[in-house]
A and B are shown apart, each in its own frame.
Chain A
Amino acid sequence: MLTNQRFINVLIPIISVILGLLAGAIIMLSFGYNPIEGYGALYEGAFGNSYFTGETIVKVAPLILSGIAVAFAFRTGLFNIGVEGQVFVGWLASVWVGISFEAPMIIHLPLAILSAGVAGALWGFVPGFLKAKFGVHEVIVSIMMNYIALHTCNALIRNVLTDRLDSTEPVADSASLSSQLFYEWTGSRLHWGAVVALALAFVMWFILEKTTKGYELRSVGFNQNASNYAGMNVNRNIVYSFLISGSFAGIAGAMQGLGTYGNMFVQSSFTNIGFDGIAVALLGGNTALGSVFGAFLFGTLKNGAGSMPLVANIPKELVDIIVALIIFFVASGYIIRWALTRVKREGK
């Protein structure tokens, strides 16, 4: 019976992806495009050669981290919509440490990543603290913190890190995640960030499932009254949750600053890494492993979809609809779960 349940858990995402692809195909057909060509282009764009594969992984890495950041807070009953801002400050902090000095890599790189985590955690601390202390809803504070992050980072880049320039100098080699080896293999920007992201997904799973702190955080997420009754400090756990969630988000920023771009530049709007993290976490059922798969799907679709207009001549707007449809179907996996248990029952 347990294996049966597990089987359903694996089956559902697969069925949802297939249904999503079918729905996308119908859209393409009804607008007179060839779905085989369309999906061919999508696949080519995502995994067609080592360059595309590399670029896809580059997209996936920060999404894993923003996904687990959202998922972690969610498990504690909190909605961290401020991941976007935490990514920004993490990005800036990592680049700042990366360009300010040179040191042996074994010190410099971890320090740069760590500072990104600390920056994200500090940014997360604000909504967490205000919620715990004054009961201010975390969503409102998080959203405001996103804007503060965006504009503060831009101002710092222009006025402090550079002299009125739009981008910082590249980080020192000793703080860089990028890899000459990967570049020679793939020609893409592929860097070591994916490894860091996977390691941290493991860390998230470990904290939640294996530690006493994780036990408390999950308990607070499910039932604050019972947690209080059991002697847990609910408010302190809310702050902890935001600190940990924020540090994951901050390190997502380090992926960009130390890996993908190797610097930071003035941005006119949000990166969407944080907002996509919400979808990734939901796709993954707020678990670590689920978020990894969710990020993988998201990154693949985003990267692969870029080729569809070029190769199959499908208008960009239509591509967006198709991608949205696939994600929609995956997200509504619970409908399929319902149908499956239904069928099983009738079959008996």
Chain B
Amino acid sequence: MDYVIEMLNIRKEFPGIVANDNINLQVEKGEIHALLGENGAGKSTLMNVLFGLYQPEKGEIRVNGKPVKITNPNIANDLGIGMVHQHFMLVDTFSVTENIILGSEPKKSGTVDIKKAEAEVQEISERYGLKVDPTAKIKDISVGMQQRVEILKTLYRGADILILDEPTAVLTPQEIHELIDIMRTLIKEGKSIILITHKLKEIMEVCDRCTVIRKGQGIGTVDVKETSTTELASLMVGREVSFRTEKTPAHPKEEILKISDLRVKDARGAEMVKGLHLDVKAGEIVGIAGVDGNGQSELIEAIAGLRKVESGSILLNKETITHFTPRKVTESGVAHIPQDRHKFGLVLDFPIGENMVLQNYYQKPYSSMGILNYKEIYKQANKLIEEYDVRTPSEHTPARALSGGNQQKAIIGREVDRSPDLLIAAQPTRGLDVGAIEFIHKKLIEERDKGKAVLLLSFELEEILNVSDRIAIMFDGQIVANVKPEDTTEQELGLLMAGSQVEKKAGES
């Protein structure tokens, strides 16, 4: 068999934890090879070893049959290995082209030949069907675009083996389809791909084989044609996982959140929320469905006090919170699981323990008279780490060193534990493994059953349909329809989200 990549008996330790313990991974030429495992199983670590970012304690790596030592990413590049990281590594203020060529710029008499670079980028992007605007600034383009830039970056450096670390976690369903097409084109062009994803359906759809790791140990490799999502899930978690969320019917009570005629602008001054009406009652989960960019983020940031409200009103428990600061919003009884965990959710350089009291460090018992009480802080942290199964070597570990999914679990634990009147969950299960998703969904429903209001934003229709008691469809800055999950289908939702039948449905609700 022709393997382009062989990783044999790889062992990688971090202080207090063995992230990879005797893992084997063999990738055939021209295949899409899935890497599956729970949050913190060691997938990113293994790929960082392959990309030369970490040095393994033990084990051998072979590229095209030849044993190699990959001591830094430049060597990986030279061997034709390229990686798109779980959290992007782009320079916000640089253009697409500048980001792509960074580190291997074409030179002309000592200066960067940006025209030539742009032409080259254009050429590669056309060849692989990765449409981008070479002159746009990173901060102005969507996450899906940024990801294409990351892929182009590896292709520009001549990569033949692409590592994609959870590329679909941050994408909308539409963008995922496009990415899948791109991956197929890449394979046709003779590339090989290692794909990390928690979405079993994607593995079934595009991958040829799948290697499963559990708690740092290799469980084995299966042929995707001969397996099922249920088998994959139980291989990965080590027990049966249910995909349908069990829940009893909701008993909505009094109105907790009432938004009337809300208008909000985005950072560039364009109106994104355009006279929106929405209410959420105690004891119900309202799911917001919509194509990304229809004002969902602005809506949530406005409720949380992070974005200025132009006009309209937001009432919480019948009291206005329209122009409250984030602190006052929190104190009024709102918790918020933010969409972007690295930008808002965590102070990555703080220990994970200190991150657990980010909103209430100034309250008893975490401090008194302005003096922090670390004993209480870490007691709370340990409680949450335990309860939400945050896998970390210790509560003193910097948040940065946790795996992406465990960072997310930590944030969810912190927000849900305050048991607020209104819980805003923006893409709460982004990057979580199936077991963790099941758990988080249970938690959201538990909050609902305690009589709290839950506002769920998700781009995964399946999640919206499974968890919500009522679905509010957002299109072009407004809620255009309210539907019950049991009365609708993914197809119908898709149509509504695209803006069709707006008249009819809006009239009904």
Neighbouring B residues of A215 by C-beta, 8 Å: 354, 361, 372
Task: State whether B370 touches A223 (Cβ < 8 A).
Answer: no
Task: State whether B306 touches A212 (Cβ < 8 A).
Answer: no
| A101 interface contact, C-beta 8 A | no
Neighbouring B residues of A151 by C-beta, 8 Å: none
| A334 interface contact, C-beta 8 A | no
| A230 interface contact, C-beta 8 A | yes
| A227 interface contact, C-beta 8 A | yes
Q: In the complex, what distance in Å separates the CA atom of A232 from the CA atom of B16?
A: 33
Task: State whether B362 touches A212 (Cβ < 8 A).
Answer: yes
Per-residue contact bits, chain B 322-348, to A (CB 8 Å; 1 contact, 0 not): 000111111100001010000111111
Neighbouring A residues of B328 by C-beta, 8 Å: 231
25 pairs across A/B with beta carbons < 8 Å?
A5-B15, A210-B371, A210-B372, A211-B367, A211-B370, A211-B372, A212-B367, A212-B370, A212-B372, A213-B370, A215-B372, A218-B350, A219-B358, A225-B343, A225-B344, A226-B343, A226-B346, A226-B347, A227-B347, A229-B306, A229-B326, A229-B338, A230-B359, A231-B328, A231-B359
Neighbouring B residues of A212 by C-beta, 8 Å: 361-362, 367, 370-372
| B349 interface contact, C-beta 8 A | yes
| B55 interface contact, C-beta 8 A | yes
Q: In the complex, what distance in Å separates the CA atom of A130 from the CA atom of B55?
A: 46
Q: In the complex, what distance in Å separates the CA atom of A233 from the CA atom of B362?
A: 13
| B304 interface contact, C-beta 8 A | yes
Per-residue contact bits, chain A 222-248, to B (CB 8 Å; 1 contact, 0 not): 110111111111000000000000000
Task: State whether B327 touches A219 (Cβ < 8 A).
Answer: no
Q: A226-B345, A231-B327 given. 17 additional CB < 8 A pairs?
A: A1-B15, A1-B16, A211-B367, A212-B362, A214-B372, A218-B347, A222-B348, A223-B346, A223-B347, A226-B344, A229-B345, A230-B326, A231-B329, A231-B331, A233-B327, A345-B57, A348-B57
Task: State whether A231 touches B372 (Cβ < 8 A).
Answer: no
Minimum CB–CB distance for A225 against chain B, Å? 5
Task: State whether B350 touches A219 (Cβ < 8 A).
Answer: yes
Minimum CB–CB distance for A221 against chain B, Å? 9
Name the residue of chain A whose CB is nearest to the CB of B349: A222
Interface residues of B (CB under 8 A from A): 15-16, 55, 57, 304, 306, 325-331, 336, 338, 343-350, 354, 358-359, 361-362, 367, 370-372
Minimum CB–CB distance for B342 against chain A, Å? 8
Per-residue contact bits, chain A 171-215, to B (CB 8 Å; 1 contact, 0 not): 000000000000000000000000000000000000000111111
Neighbouring B residues of A348 by C-beta, 8 Å: 57
Name the residue of chain A whose CB is nearest to the CB of B15: A1
Q: In the complex, what distance in Å separates the CA atom of A345 from the CA atom of B359?
A: 40
- Which of B55, B345, B346 is close to A345, meaning CB atoms less than 8 Å apart? B55
Task: State whether B349 touches A231 (Cβ < 8 A).
Answer: no
Neighbouring A residues of B371 by C-beta, 8 Å: 210-212
Neighbouring A residues of B346 by C-beta, 8 Å: 223, 226
Q: In the complex, what distance in Å separates the CA atom of A44 from the CA atom of B372?
A: 46
Given known pairs A211-B370, A219-B350, A348-B57, the reply for A226 and B358 (CB within 8 Å) is: yes
Neighbouring A residues of B359 by C-beta, 8 Å: 230-231
Q: In the complex, what distance in Å separates the CA atom of A340 from the CA atom of B82?
A: 28
Q: In the complex, what distance in Å separates the CA atom of A218 from the CA atom of B57?
A: 35
Per-residue contact bits, chain A 6-30, to B (CB 8 Å; 1 contact, 0 not): 0000000000000000000000000
Neighbouring A residues of B327 by C-beta, 8 Å: 231-233
Task: State whether B336 touches A229 (Cβ < 8 A).
Answer: yes
Minimum CB–CB distance for A167 against chain B, Å? 42
Q: In the complex, what distance in Å separates the CA atom of A106 from the CA atom of B347?
A: 44
Neighbouring A residues of B348 by C-beta, 8 Å: 222-223
Minimum CB–CB distance for B200 against chain A, Å? 32
Residue among A211, A212, A214, A219 having the largest count of chain B Cβ atoms under 10 Å:
A212
Name the residue of chain B whose CB is nearest to the CB of A346: B55
Residue among A5, A222, A223, A230 having the largest count of chain B Cβ atoms under 10 Å:
A230
Given known pairs A1-B15, A212-B370, the reply for A231 and B347 (CB within 8 Å) is: no
Q: In the complex, what distance in Å separates the CA atom of A85 from the CA atom of B329?
A: 41
- Which of A213, A222, A232, A345 is close to B350, meaning CB atoms less than 8 Å apart? A222
Minimum CB–CB distance for A318 against chain B, Å? 36
Per-residue contact bits, chain A 99-113, to B (CB 8 Å; 1 contact, 0 not): 000000000000000
Q: In the complex, what distance in Å separates the CA atom of A212 from the CA atom of B329?
A: 20
Given known pairs A212-B372, A218-B350, A345-B55, the reply for A231 and B344 (CB within 8 Å) is: no
Task: State whether B15 touches A231 (Cβ < 8 A).
Answer: no
Neighbouring B residues of A218 by C-beta, 8 Å: 347, 350
Q: In the complex, what distance in Å separates the CA atom of A30 from the CA atom of B248?
A: 85
Name the residue of chain A whose CB is nearest to the CB of B340: A225
